Structure 1
Amino acid sequence: MGCNSSTLAKIHNVEELILETGFSSSHVCHLYSRFHSLDKDDKGLLSRADFQTISELAVNPLGDRIINAFFPDGMDLIDFNSFVRTLACFRPVEESQKKELNSPEPINSRTNKLMFAFQLYDQDKDGKISNYELLQILRMMVGVQVTEEQLENITDRTIQEADLDGDNAISFEEFKKSLEKMDVEHLLSIRFI
């Protein structure tokens, strides 16, 4: 499906969507095609089950958590514009974005990328990553390759190193601080075309 004006005309508020997300019209057309390939019922909405048909998510230990990130506040279905806004977080940061000090923070900023990652851990949405939440992630990521005792030690040490206020949990600010030397912009970026 090529990008043309008739495709763009089908997209509600396409100009605002392009401006808000930073995607080009070509990217939006490509995403529109991808959205509709997932929308088997052709209702203009995607469910969690639609995302579960993506093979890369099916084999990813964090696949369910990534899928849930597309459905904030317990929503059951998302439309195309919500789909694009969520994916915009993963758009690579451009040099021009890094230099604009007085402009609003773009969707794909370092802070927003970190917030997306933080929310994958913070499943109870209390604004902190608890020992239990971190342990769950580690179990998913390493499976049976590491003993439970080793996982608990890694979890305890990680919390201890990142926890600056002594509450035995990692807040978003502590999470950001612990990752300040990591190239998050590159790690949490996807080339869309």
Structure 2
Amino acid sequence: MGNTSSMLTQYDIEEVQQHCKNAFTQQEIVSLYQRFCQLDRNNCGFIPSDEFLSIPEFAVNPLSQIIFKVYDTDCNGKVSFDDMLTVLRDLTGQYMSEQQRKEVLAQVLEEAGYTKDSFLVLSDFMKILGNSDLKMEAEVPVD
């Protein structure tokens, strides 16, 4: 996906819907994408976590419930290690090995005080999102 709303195609929208198991309407996806483009001030295709969390509207993480739904891939109200691994797999594709993904996730969970056997409910998830000391950054080349 590009960095302007005009580059968001119907195919892109449907692909996001499929990935999120239709948790979002087409209009919600377009709105979220347009807001992302507004926040991506450097036009680099991502928003660094410190910059994201410095936005006053996000100080209390109002998007955490939306983000939680993306990570809760089996829609059971809990985010498991496997749920997070599924999302990370989709985000990194061939640029990370499965072992690297598992190691990164295990480290992030450990730093947040959880184990790979933990099931995160929304409040746990918000705690991790709000912890500015935790950073899980990886640069992934875009076409």
TM-score per shorter chain, which class? 0.5 to 0.7
Greater radius of gyration (CA): 1
Q: Structure 2 matches for 1:43-192, cutoff 5 A?
A: 54-57=10-13, 62=16, 64-66=18-20, 68-70=22-24, 83=27, 87=31, 110-164=60-114, 168-180=118-130
Secondary structure at the residue paired with 1:112? coil
TM (normalized to structure 2)?
0.53
Does the Cα contact within 8 Å between 1:160 and 1:168 map onto a contact in 2? no
Q: Report SS of the residue matched to 2:22.
A: helix
In structure 2, C-alpha distance between the alignment counterparts of 1:166 and 1:136, rounded to whole Å: 14
Question: In the TM superposition, what whole-angstrom CA distance separates every residue of 1:95-121 from its partner, at most 9, and x where no partner exists?
Answer: xxx7xxxxxxxxx99443111001101
Identify unmatched segments of 5+ residues in structure 2: 1-7, 39-55, 133-143
For residues 142 and 165 of structure 1, the distance between their equivalents in structure 2, rounded to whole angstroms, comes to 22
Per-residue deviation, 1:150: 0.9
Q: Structure 1, residues 19-63: CA drift from partner, whole Å, max 9, x if none?
A: xxxxxxxxxxxxxxxxxxxxxxxxxxxxxxxxx9524436x7x55
The question of whether the paired residues in 1 share the 8 Å contact of 2:61 and 2:130 is answered with no
TM superposition score normalised by structure 1: 0.41
DSSP-derived class of the 2:62 partner: helix
- The 2-side partners of 1:55 and 1:110 are apart by 33
List alignment gaps of at least 5 residues for structure 1: 1-51, 72-77, 93-97, 99-107, 183-193
Q: Would the alpha carbon gap of residues 111 and 134 (structure 1) be closer, same or farther in structure 2, given more than 3 Å must change?
A: same
- Percent identity, please: 22
| Superposed displacement of residue 171, structure 1 | 2.1
Q: State the number of aligned residues.
A: 108
* Alignment CA distance shift 1:63-1:160 (3 Å): farther
Q: Is the 8 A contact 2:71 2:84 kept in 1?
A: yes
Aligned with 2:130: secondary structure? Answer: coil
Letter in 2 for 1:140: D
